[in-house]
Amino acid sequence: MTQLEDRGQVWPALDGLARDLSLEVLIRGPLPRRELAAKLGVSAATLTRTVAPLLESGVLIELEEPLAGGPGRPARLVDVPASTHRFVGVKLTGECLHGVLTDLRADIVASRTVDLDGLEPARVAAAIGRLVADLDAGQDATAVGISFGGVSHDGRTVARAPFLEWHDVALARLVEQATGLPVILENDLVALAGAEHWFGEGRTVPSFAVLTIGIGVGYGLVVHDRVVTHRDVGIGLVGHYPLDPQGPRCPNGHHGCAEAMLTTTGISSQVSVAHRRPVGYGEALELARGGDPVALEVVTAAGHALGRLIAAVANLAMPDRIFLSGEGIELARVAWGAVWEGVQRDRDPAASPVDVVVQPYDSDQWARGAAAIAIQHHVLGSAVTAGS
């Protein structure tokens, strides 16, 4: 146990090259020394000298299996001991907590969901405390990350969270008192983008956007290998985005904005109204798949709107790739034709095709994002937004 704690202390203390090196290994997976030297722009000698004490202290390990190749001495792979670290990620919504226990590479080890019995900060903090204790039964977690649909400027205080009706709640402190672990807060989309950036498919491109559809519409952005954190990230930047002048109205009275067209509730309520009975989101998509005219119309319009949103992101943020995710993203698969048509419509024909990746949605993804933020914060010391 003390050894684990010692190892926990090691990362933040790393200096320039040792830090960059460990980060590279963490993010780009096991690598031979030679390749690491090339990536970091240092000589092989320096690399050996830097790696040696890190192996000694346990920050890095050397894999048993050498990298088989042609002639010559086979390369030994340097890696992080990912599976000996534990981090907790918690996604906080207005109804429940979704938590995951992960290793150092944000691979999920365990997962739990619990309902909230009240939204007062103290109650929520206590519930998070119990969730963390439940997930981290071995008590060897290094840090806790919490993500939510709202704004935190410092990672310690919830500056704003509309669906919780919180303002300036020092949630990190409360949860630290409950768990005894370091806690870091972050907007849910920044967290998801962070996870994608370090531990997902976003590793391979220097810039990408994440669009999520579900109860809300979310947007996160990575440019020049760094997450874009604007003071407004996390409040509905894309929610009011106008997509279809003939579309349904949102609660604010806008016609055809992203909130009204794309959210699960927006779609299911449109279908429900037409069918004069409550139709859930899944059923609405099923009806559309089956050819139900009303559902098809609603879903096609939504797909079209999603496509135009994608085009807008591609045109204005110019990412190399756009990831689609969120609990309602099945829409993109059901209405892919309409999505692509929407993209084409608002995109210059001469422009290169937009690289859109629909991610298989998994209810752990949001919490994994929170864990990724905890990992980043632990590994980088403080600068969460810094890139690879």
Partner DNA sequence: GCGAATACGTTTCATCATGCAAAGAACTGG
Partner DNA sequence: CCAGTTCTTTGCATGATGAAACGTATTCGC
Identify residues 93-132 at the interface with a second copy (CB under 8 A). none
- Binders of DNA among residues 33 to 72 (CB under 7 A) are 33-34, 41-52, 66, 68-72
Q: Where are the alpha helices (DSSP H) in the chain?
A: 2-13, 16-28, 33-40, 44-57, 121-135, 171-179, 188-199, 258-262, 264-275, 281-290, 293-317, 330-334, 336-345, 365-380
53 binds, among a second copy, DNA, none (CB under 5 to 8 A by kind): none
* Residue of 5, 95, 232, 355 that binds a second copy (CB under 8 A): 232
Q: Is 381 exposed, middle or buried (0-12, 13-18, 19+ CB in 10 A)?
A: middle
Exposure class string for 60-77: b at 16+ Cβ within 10 A, else e: bbeeeeeeeeeeeeeebb
Residue 378 to residue 372: CA distance in whole angstroms: 10
* Residue 153 phi, psi dihedral angles, 5° rounding: -85, -25
Q: Could you give the string, one character per residue 67-106, with x where binding to DNA holds by CB under 7 A and - elsewhere?
A: -xxxxxxxxx------------------------------
161 three-state secondary structure: strand
In whole angstroms, give the CA distance from residue 10 to residue 182: 15
The interface partner of residue 231, options being a second copy, DNA, none and the CB cut-off 5 to 8 Å by kind, is: a second copy
Identified binder of a second copy from the candidate list 76, 242, 274, 286, rule CB under 8 A: 242
> If binding means CB under 8 A, how many residues of this protein chain bind a second copy?
36
351 lines the binding site for a second copy (CB under 8 A):
yes
Which of a second copy, DNA, none interacts with 17 (beta carbon under 5 to 8 A by kind)?
Answer: DNA
Output 4 or 10, the one with its CB closest to DNA.
10
Q: How far apart are CA 387 and CA 335, in angstroms?
A: 35
Residue selected from 64, 65, 115, 348 as contacting a second copy according to rule CB under 8 A = 348
* Size of interface with DNA, in residues (CB under 7 A): 27
Give residues in contact with DNA (CB under 7 A). Answer: 16-17, 32-34, 41-52, 66, 68-76
